[in-house]
Structure 1
Amino acid sequence: MKLYNKYCEGMYYVAKRFITDSYEAEDAMQEAFVKAFEKLHQFNGEVTFGAWLKRIVINKCLDKLKAKKMELIALNEQVMGTVEEDENWSIEDGIGIEEVKNKMEQLPEKYKYPLMLFLLEGYDHEEIAEILNITKVASRTLVHRGKKKLQEALKNLRHGTGY
């Protein structure tokens, strides 16, 4: 119970970023805790317990989304090619985190989830590829395109044209 009490609120907010319905997010978080407790013997201390649990919560959320026929689109790598990382990516001053999150929520799913994992959760492309069952090239491409779409949506927000 100590572990649950320590992490339940934070893990709920992680789940809520992926599943907007609060009951479904809580359900995913609860199922993730059950899975984590069943697999506790597999926790080897390589990462913090919180990071390990967070990964389980995210995977459970993605499983639930897939189960609802909201599958991520598999992309043809030959069409995508490679993408250069845009290290100078930025948004205008005065745009708050809530505005960024709201605009990110409106992105197509194929961009939203990789971008959330990259920008909000801090995962790298190798981890994103593993979590979403895509390649690192696909992760880079989806994150890059998602950033461009998000940046455009935020630019429109400031110039009054909406999204």
Structure 2
Amino acid sequence: MTTNQSNINQLITACKRGERTAQIKVYESYSKAMYNTSLRIVKNTFDAEDIMQESFITAFSKLNDLKDNQTFGAWLKRIVINNSLTFLRQQQIEVELEQVLYKIEDESSVENLEDYSEVKFQQLSQAMDTLKDNYQLALNLHYIEGYNYDEMCDILNISYANCRTLVSRAKSSLKKKLAVHI
């Protein structure tokens, strides 16, 4: 982001007063990151653009509900992710996450993704694109967006055990696909 945190706080305060120029500056500061977040979920540039714009409209209309201006970025990202998931559900592309009802695998038997640090980003990206949608979503939320299991449970509306299993299986599937590329 091009704007520092104290400037963002001032801009958010100005946005709460309804100042359009402040809204434009906030939009310019966050739009690229929010677009990329949505794109990783919906995988369509036009839909991601629409979702990102709708998310800003939602955020600006509910800005007075935000208690701490410093949390604006995380709050906005949550809106984008929720809107992206809602879009997927409305498009009947909803991932069948509740099918993951198996016992949690032993974490010690699953290697960390960091073991693939020498894998080029392009290879990783190609391998990610071949994963099932629910695996891609889980890995994106956990490793790219930085959500922990509890937050993912809320976002995906699944149990903690299902969330851990989903991430574990997604990592395992990604490792198998990366092994083919190496």
TM-score range, shorter chain: 0.7 to 0.9
Q: Deviations over 1:10-34 (max 9, x none)?
A: 1111111112221111001011111
Task: Give the 3 Å change call, closer, same or farther, for CA 144–47 of structure 1 in structure 2.
Answer: farther
Q: Is residue 150 from structure 1 mapped to residue 174 from structure 2 by the alignment?
A: yes
Q: Pick from 91, 94, 101: which aligns with 2:125? A: 101
Task: State the Cα distance separating 1:153 from its structure 2 match.
Answer: 0.2
Q: In the alignment, which residue of structure 1 is the partner of 2:20?
A: none
Task: Give the 3 Å change call, closer, same or farther, for CA 9–93 of structure 1 in structure 2.
Answer: closer
Q: Is residue 122 from structure 1 mapped to residue 143 from structure 2 by the alignment?
A: no
Q: Is residue 41 from structure 1 mapped to residue 64 from structure 2 by the alignment?
A: yes
Q: In the alignment, which residue of structure 2 is the partner of 1:83?
A: 105
State the identity %. Answer: 34
Count of aligned pairs between the two proteins: 157
Which of the two has higher C-alpha Rg? Answer: 2
Structure with bigger helix share is: 2
Q: In the alignment, which residue of structure 1 is the partner of 2:94?
A: 71
Q: In the alignment, which residue of structure 2 is the partner of 1:54?
A: 77
Where in structure 1 do 4 or more consecutive aligned residues deviate above 4 Å?
A: none
Mapped to 1, the partners of 2:54 and 2:141 lie a distance apart of 20
Consecutive unaligned residues of structure 2, counting only runs of 5 or more, are: 1-23
Task: Give the 3 Å change call, closer, same or farther, for CA 83–32 of structure 1 in structure 2.
Answer: same
TM-score scaled by length of structure 1: 0.87
> Which moves more between the two structures, 91-100 or 28-37?
91-100
TM-score scaled by length of structure 2: 0.78
The one-letter code matched in structure 2 to 1:81 is K
Consecutive unaligned residues of structure 1, counting only runs of 5 or more, are: 159-163
> Which moves more between the two structures, 37-46 or 61-70?
37-46
